[in-house]
Copies of this chain bind each other. A is one copy, B any other.
Amino acid sequence: MKAELISIGDELLIGQTINTNAAWLGMELSLRGISVSRCTVISDDKQAIIATIDRAMNEADLIIVTGGLGPTKDDITKVVLCEYFNSKLVMNSSVLERITRYFEDRGRQMLDVNIQQAALPENCTVLENIVGTASGMWFEKDGSVLISMPGVPFEMKSIMKEQVFDRLKERFHVKSIYHETILLQGIGESFLADRMKDWENRIREEGLSLAYLPSVGSLKLRITSSRGEVDQSVIENYFQELEKQLPQYVYGRGEESLSEVVGKLLLQNGKTVGTVESCTGGTLASAFVSVSGSSDYYQGSFLTYSNELKQKLVQVSSTNLKKNGAVSREVVEEMAINGRKNLSVDFCISTSGIAGPNGGTDEKPVGTVWIAIASSKGVYSHRFLFGNNRERNILMTVLSALNLLRCQLLGITDKN
């Protein structure tokens, strides 16, 4: 079975938008046993669209097209597809109803261009978009399937999950590949590979494949079996082995976020948490709050970006600031201890560091970060040295802080 992706949009060709849709689709399809053999990016141009689609329809069984379904004049995909598949646009009353509701719910005025989004080719299967106004379309011709989707990533993903993946399974009967993912924080790819050499070799010898999927501050490992679900328990055993050996790094499975994992632990233990942030500037708080229901354990935060506010809001002494500087064990511990009192929480995490790109010294280079956690048992603090990139340093700090709290909640003390 051959699958192709076609991404339509000038913004992709001139590099104003990076084609994350193609990466997501490639990943999701390959996990479902459908491998993509080609991905083509073209502009919102009728001739280019028709030529590319026509070639793909002759060569592939499945073509997924993204982009060009918006309400404005430069979005021409729907009209071009309608012509290519010898169809005509007809007003779809249930789609129109949904679009009307979409605007009503948001208290926004519906315009004629929005109404026109409910006009869809007569001979396609309409794929409902429950998060936006551009519907997906499923065409069939000469044994090939062409699916057209909006280019807005979260709309495209929603339609794929809700409307497409099951239909593809039914239509193409692909043998599904089985895979599981385990999540780690605080350990690098090559360090892990070196430490778990034997484990990795055994996995490969068993005919399974192991992929390292690193992202900033965390690492996913995916084990894939082409034999299918029969290998579920084998994979699970490998994961448990890893978890047992490296409990300080392994935090979850699948698609869980570290914030969710920590949130669940706090709920289970009936504990509350708050934060006092300096270098992370609210990003640690927002990681907690990103989880729905977090108000059950997350109470709030002081963001003491300036030294004055460190003194005023969490009573860091001026002597401490003068003697040790804002980025120090002493200051970060005082922030956590007093923050815990002022916020009336069980755990209080504080951060202070030099996120960069400027502000480093020989003694405290850019990337130096202190994290402290105060609890009823006292205060624990740890120094990290990240890199030169501001955004990455902030994210690494947030993930490290969450993982330190996870280890405390689970009583994992070994941080090697």
Contacts and interface: CB of A to CB of B under 8 A. Distances in A.
Interface of A: 10-20, 22-28, 30, 35-43, 48, 52, 70-74, 105-109, 111-114, 131, 152, 154, 179, 181, 188-191, 193-194, 200, 209-214, 220, 222, 275, 277, 280-286, 288-290, 292-295, 298-306, 308-309, 312-313, 342-344, 356-358, 365, 367, 385-392, 394
B15 A25 contact: yes
B41 A15 contact: no
20 contacts: A15-B23, A15-B25, A16-B220, A17-B213, A37-B48, A39-B40, A39-B41, A72-B190, A72-B193, A74-B210, A74-B212, A111-B190, A275-B282, A282-B289, A282-B303, A283-B286, A283-B289, A285-B303, A285-B305, A309-B343
B293 A358 contact: yes
B18 A12 contact: no
Given A74-B210, A290-B390, 12 more contacts: A16-B211, A38-B48, A281-B289, A281-B290, A281-B294, A282-B285, A282-B289, A285-B305, A290-B394, A292-B358, A301-B305, A312-B342
Nearest to A152: B214
Q: Output the residue of A108, A282, A308 with the most chain B CB within 10 A.
A: A282
A29 to B, nearest CB: 8
A313 B313 CA distance: 9
B42 A13 contact: no
A152 B24 CA distance: 20
A300 B292 contact: no
Contacts of A290: 281, 390-391, 394
Main secondary structure of the interface of A (DSSP, over half): mixed
B305 A302 contact: no
Please give the count of copies of this chain that the complex contains: 2
Contacts of A71: 189-190, 193
Contacts of A17: 23, 213
A15 B28 contact: yes
B286 A390 contact: no
A106 B70 contact: no
B189 A70 contact: yes
Contacts of A301: 282, 301-303, 305
Nearest to A3: B13
A234 to B, nearest CB: 19
Contacts of A365: 105
Contacts of A14: 26-27, 30, 35-36, 179
A42 B48 contact: no
Contact of A289 (B25, B37, B114, B305): B305
A40 B48 CA distance: 13
Q: Output the residue of A281, A290, A299 with the most chain B CB within 10 A.
A: A281
Given A214-B152, A387-B106, A286 B289 contact: no
A26 B37 contact: no
Contacts of A356: 292
A180 to B, nearest CB: 12
Contact of A302 (B302, B308, B357): B302
Contacts of A35: 13-14
Contacts of A23: 12, 15-19
A385 B113 contact: no
A275 B387 CA distance: 28
Contacts of A112: 194
Nearest to A40: B40
B281 A188 contact: no
Contacts of A30: 13-15
B22 A390 contact: no
A16 B222 contact: yes
A212 B16 CA distance: 10
